[in-house]
Amino acid sequence: MPKVDYDKECKICTRSFTVFKWRPRRDARFNKTEVCQTCSKLKNVYQVCLHDREYGLPVQVRDTALAINSNDTIPKSDVNREYFAEEHDCRVRANDTILKLQRTTPYYKRNIAHICSFYVRGECTRGSNVLISTKWTSLVNCLSKI
């Protein structure tokens, strides 16, 4: 993936930014980033296609539909634009509370096999071959007493 520092102007804030260029498949054409990372995070859009991450619409369509005036949000002068971008970069960086809340290990409970509904009803023909976790075993014992 070629990386070119400060190659193009961002299409939103007109600051120069680092452009990445790659080919998703061997027979596909090259993709490249069109906006800077700061604007991408501020506007919640993808850097390549400029589509909204939540709705999947182009940014201009989304802003028109939601009546968002994008000209008011980004300053016009170069100095103010740089200051604005630096301030938002600092806000976006991960702080200590977010790092503490971040999940560091995968959530394996979603991969646990479901309990056999026939076993719960007492109609399972597989007998002891049914895999049941210890959590479900206590539930089955409680249900069998009823």
Q: Measured between alpha carbons, how far is 135 from 105 in angstroms, rounded to an integer?
A: 21
Sites in the chain below the pLDDT cut of 50: 134
| pLDDT at residue 53 in the model | 82
**Cα(109)–Cα(106) distance, rounded to whole angstroms?**
9
Determine the pLDDT at residue 62: 76
Ordered by start, the domain boundaries in the chain are 3-101, 108-145
Q: What was the pLDDT predicted at 61?
A: 80
pLDDT recorded at residue 91: 63
Type of residue at 135: K
- Give the SS3 label for residue 16: strand
Query: What distance in Å separates the CA atoms of residue 43 and residue 66, rounded to the nearest whole number?
Result: 13
Determine the 3-state secondary structure of 32 from DSSP. strand
What integer pLDDT is reported at residue 116 of this predicted model? 75
Q: What is the model's pLDDT at position 71?
A: 56
Residues 146 and 132: their CA atoms lie apart, in Å, by 20
pLDDT for res 123: 81
Distance of CA 10 to the CA centre of its chain: 22
| C-alpha to C-alpha distance for 42 and 75, rounded to whole angstroms | 14
From 25, 28, 26, 21, select the one nearest 1 (Cα to Cα). 21
